[in-house]
Amino acid sequence: MRILLLISLFWSISQSEKIISCYTRPNSVFPASNTDPFLCTHLMIIGSTYIHGNFTPHMPNVADLQPILDLRKTNPKLKIFLTLTPSNPIMSTLVLNDTLMDSYTGKVAEYLRENDLDGFDLDWEFPVWSPDAKKTDKDGLSSLLKHFREKFNGSGKEKTLGLSLAVSAPYTITMMAYNISALNEYADFVQIMNYDYHDYAKYTPFTGFNSPLYALDYELWILRGFNSNYTTYEWLSGGLSAEKLVFGMPVYSRGYELLSNAFNFPYAPAIGSSQKWGDDLTYNEVCEAVKSGNYTNVWRDDVKSPYFYGNKQWVSYEDVRSLTFKAGYARAKGLGGIMIYDLPYDDYTGSCGEGCKYPLIKATKRAFLGTSEPSCTTSTGPESTSTTKGVVAVTQKKETTTTTAASVRTTTNGSESVLSRIVFIVTLIACVFGRTLLLRKSDAKSVNFNYAHYVNLPRPYNDSVKKDHKNGTQFHKDFSIADHSPYLSKYDQTCCDIYHSTENDVFRFHNCLIHENPKNTHIDGTRNSLTLNVRNTRKYCSYKDKHIVTNSLDFHDS
């Protein structure tokens, strides 16, 4: 009996130490009041921490952080980290200079302790691999982590600070960017970004799953490694401690514009990001679309992920079912935790009909911890309520199907599968001969503008905006905008439709609503130019009557 009690106690302690890490961007659209203090063990505040051109830290205003810090009044165990999202040129220079690293890490540690924060998260995308990175980044990152660890280890009454990293998932990046032994030695945990395996770009003009757990049964060559299972294998076999590996999952979705409605399967030809929703969708948008009955919803059992299509739109998304598979996988592997990116993309208002707020994250947490706490409902996601066009459960390797709705159409290894294989092979050959496969370092285009400073505009969420813009607005050499801080009072008024003109190699910004806040304006006189990197040169964000969907626009010091 005592042995059983000891085993039970050990299991309870080990489970309580598991990490549930959640990224968030508190702002006027998503205030801290929307955050459940008990939903996550760690909150990663992203979008407010950078490095100035003189290698000093840009940290958020404490007043802006206070609503998040106050969450610990309700849950004292909640850990709050700041996430650094630096530019590659700045990092490549910083990590080659011990004096600069010593100064920078010391100032960060001082800020964190003075403001009662718990740790620091480094999201460097990506050492060595990125086009503006350097070969010395790999060893340089190891040195930087050592400096952080020395400053973060508390002495006497000093608070010991946590250190984490967000790292790449595709092994094409991993094998050249990171020294895993250094991660084991200096980091408290390492968050694997198991998403963005596929995203539209002119070099990859086809649909694909954002976060597949396994490979499609007809994927070949490098593409068979673009899934969470292969990523986890590579990291663990490379030596990363399972206890330090935090398995990342998205709650956002990826949208594509199809070339033709006739081709609507994974790797079908695409002509851009979704014209209806843009590059990414919230779970509320997914619910609305699937429940409308205007789209066909498909579950791929080989990859354990769903997608829907219709009206030339194709969307890879996550639901309770897919995330439960991922969380169960992480649990079975004995991993140290799971990471969610990011809170505002889940249904935080409870309007999707799942029976609670944050249905995706709660189901994921439940599956990973193996707890008996009740789930929101018995629903497996929005597919269970799709009736007009039903749900398709596509099973490639197993002759089993899933019936989550009254109206279900099932396909196995039929003509659709044969056609998808043919299109996939043709697309693959075309990409190889066009030198446009994923072996590229980046598909970014760059254009320089003078008199502006490094800034990372925020990613707005659901909100309405005024149409007081002027179409055809074009950035010019003396363009400047509000500086670093995404905590603008009119956060939601930053969105542009970006088109790339091949005729004169000019980026044109349409439907621009850029809010300039004098209180946050700070132009660094030591830097007089910047480079704008746009991954999707066709349309980077979409502007709708009552909705904005966009990724952040990253302005990098050149």
DSSP line for 284-346: HHHHHHHHTTSSEEEEETTTTEEEEEETTEEEE---HHHHHHHHHHHHHTT-SEEEEE-GGGS
**How many residues would you count in the chain?**
558
158 lies in the same domain as 249? yes
Is residue 307 included in any domain, yes or no?
Answer: no
- The encoded tokens of residue 438 equal 């994923």
Is residue 284 included in any domain, yes or no?
Answer: no
Task: Report the alpha-carbon angle 407-413-419, nearest 5.
Answer: 100
93 lies in the same domain as 170? yes
364 lies in the same domain as 472? no
Last residue of a domain, one of 332, 363, 382: 382
- The encoded tokens of residue 17 equal 């130490």
464 lies in the same domain as 342? no
Q: Give every CB contact of residue 267 below 8 A, 6+ residues apart in sequence.
A: 206, 207, 208, 216, 420, 423, 424, 427
Is residue 293 included in any domain, yes or no?
Answer: no
Is residue 480 included in any domain, yes or no?
Answer: yes
198 lies in the same domain as 326? yes
Q: Report the distance separating Cα 208 and Cα 307, nearest Å.
A: 9
Last residue of a domain, one of 382, 413, 435: 382
77 lies in the same domain as 207? yes
Give the burial class of 521: count Cβ atoms within 10 A of its Cβ; 0-12 exposed, 13-18 middle, 19 or more buried: middle
48 lies in the same domain as 152? yes
Is residue 231 included in any domain, yes or no?
Answer: yes
345 lies in the same domain as 203? yes
Is residue 404 included in any domain, yes or no?
Answer: no
**Could you tell me the CATH number of the domain that includes residue 30?**
3.20.20.80
Is residue 413 included in any domain, yes or no?
Answer: no
- What are φ and ψ of residue 390, in 5° steps? 75, -170
Structural domains counted in the chain: 2
Full residue range of the structural domain in which residue 216 is found: 17-256+317-382
369 lies in the same domain as 456? no
37 lies in the same domain as 158? yes
Dihedral of CA 329/333/337/341: which sign?
Answer: negative
- The encoded tokens of residue 109 equal 């540690």
Is residue 488 included in any domain, yes or no?
Answer: yes
359 lies in the same domain as 472? no
pTM, full prediction: 0.74
Pairing of strands 455-456, 554-557: antiparallel
164 lies in the same domain as 69? yes
Pairing of strands 313-316, 253-258: antiparallel
Last residue of a domain, one of 382, 399, 427: 382
Q: What is the pLDDT along the chain (558 residues), one digit of tens a residue?
A: 555 444 444 444 445 589 999 999 877 678 899 999 999 999 999 989 999 999 999 999 999 999 999 999 999 999 999 999 999 999 999 999 999 999 999 999 999 999 999 999 999 999 999 988 999 999 999 999 999 999 999 887 889 999 999 999 988 899 899 999 999 999 999 999 999 999 998 888 999 999 999 999 888 888 899 999 999 999 999 999 999 999 999 999 999 999 999 999 999 999 999 988 888 899 999 999 999 999 999 999 999 999 999 999 999 999 999 999 999 999 999 999 999 999 999 999 999 887 899 999 999 999 999 986 656 754 444 543 332 333 444 433 333 333 333 233 333 334 456 767 777 777 666 665 554 443 333 333 322 222 222 223 333 322 322 222 223 333 322 223 333 223 222 222 233 333 333 333 333 333 333 333 333 323 232 222 223 333 322 223 322 222 222 333 333 332
Q: Report the distance separating Cα 346 and Cα 340, nearest Å.
A: 10
Helix H or strand E segment including 180:
helix 180-186
Radius of gyration in angstroms for the set of CA atoms belonging to the chain, rounded to a whole number: 23
DSSP, collapsed to helix, strand or coil, labels residue 148 as helix
